[in-house]
A and B are shown apart, each in its own frame.
Chain A
């Protein structure tokens, strides 16, 4: 899978993600809201999970094809990276 979840940041220390999808970046002070799927991906990321594991969690949780899940995952990762969260 092309999408990498690698980041220089210590997300467990530097980010707070609540069950309601509220994300607070401790370093920048910026806040975001993410939907349930975004929250699921970020949770994997914060625990040091791989893209393949996040993808597996998505297809396991939702009634969605692997190709669709992969597209969503790639788009989400690209977006949070552009915000500087990753």
Chain B
């Protein structure tokens, strides 16, 4: 059996961890035909790159803002050193550039299993409300604005508090026009326009990690309830659940989008009504994805198989009650690792 070299991005695992390291752990958990795991990273201090047990090679790559040409050049260099069989980008901001390089990457023999640009666009925060309306899916009332004066309209329509969201990342809860304006400016400076403003619904958060076939079929789904949150609202502990309503909603969404590849559906179960509202669709694995491997529905390993062109039958849902707890630890390493990354832009473990 041919050994696979798999390149994975998103390796910074701080209190807002990227999904790369859990994706690698999942792949290593179930696949035994792994050649090299190649970490692609942006900064020499991205924490996960110092885990030499998980990674074989690490390379710095240009930030997405530098464009797809810079990324292609870097991938060509890496590919010449160690041929990449499969590339798994795990950050929202990377999907567009990687998609634009699909032809070049495919001709190099690098396989991907990603959403199309159109699928990616349809689930964007700015268009999600429209998409939900079209497909009869509940979501919080939303305004997409470019002018901070319109925050007043949102406050009048939705009452307080409101949720002010950046077009790519981050969200703040605002209790007044002044607070909302500060959040607007902060998000605009960081992620640009538009800004998304939503009504705030009190309730519990539920997430579903999914893999779609690209033809409307849901290949696998792992629903999870967050048990502990960080100050940034990220899951620090969670548990698999089994809810037929949530399962049907996930199927409906994947079918409507004809989603190809991994995604995370974020729902809010309203306290008052018990009804699920779709809050976001993230176009990549969540950072808690190792739970899928632990629960026997290994979604990253499934994406590897799909990228190879294998036909995969829809996976049975996981058993309820498999939980995870995140654990921060220290990696100890010689200074030459940092030296190698900062001077050469790469670190070869083996």
Contact = CB atoms under 8 A, between A and B. Distances in A.
A35 interface: no
Contact of B243 (A16, A24, A27): A27
Contacts of B238: 29
A26 B225 contact: no
B122 interface: no
B241 A28 contact: yes
Contacts of A84: 274
Interface residues of A, number: 9
Interface residues of B, number: 15
Residue among A27, A29, A30, A84 with most chain B CB within 10 A: A29
21 contacts: A14-B242, A26-B241, A26-B242, A26-B243, A26-B320, A26-B321, A27-B241, A27-B242, A27-B243, A27-B320, A28-B204, A28-B225, A28-B243, A29-B206, A29-B224, A29-B225, A29-B239, A29-B240, A29-B241, A29-B320, A30-B225
Contacts of A30: 225
* Contact residues of B: prevailing secondary structure: strand
Tell me whether chain A's interface is mostly helix, strand or loop, or mixed.
loop
A44 to B, nearest CB: 22
B227 interface: yes
A24 B225 contact: no
Interface of A: 14, 16, 24, 26-30, 84
B298 to A, nearest CB: 21
A59 B242 CA distance: 36
Contacts of A26: 241-243, 320-321
A84 B242 CA distance: 15
Contacts of B240: 29
B321 A24 contact: yes
Contacts of B242: 14, 26-27
A27 to B, nearest CB: 5
Interface string B237-278: 011111100000000000000000000000001000010000
B320 to A, nearest CB: 4
Interface in B40-98: none
A16 B238 CA distance: 17
Given A28-B204, A29-B227, 13 more contacts: A14-B242, A16-B321, A24-B321, A26-B243, A27-B241, A27-B242, A28-B225, A28-B243, A28-B269, A29-B225, A29-B239, A29-B241, A29-B320
Nearest to A25: B241
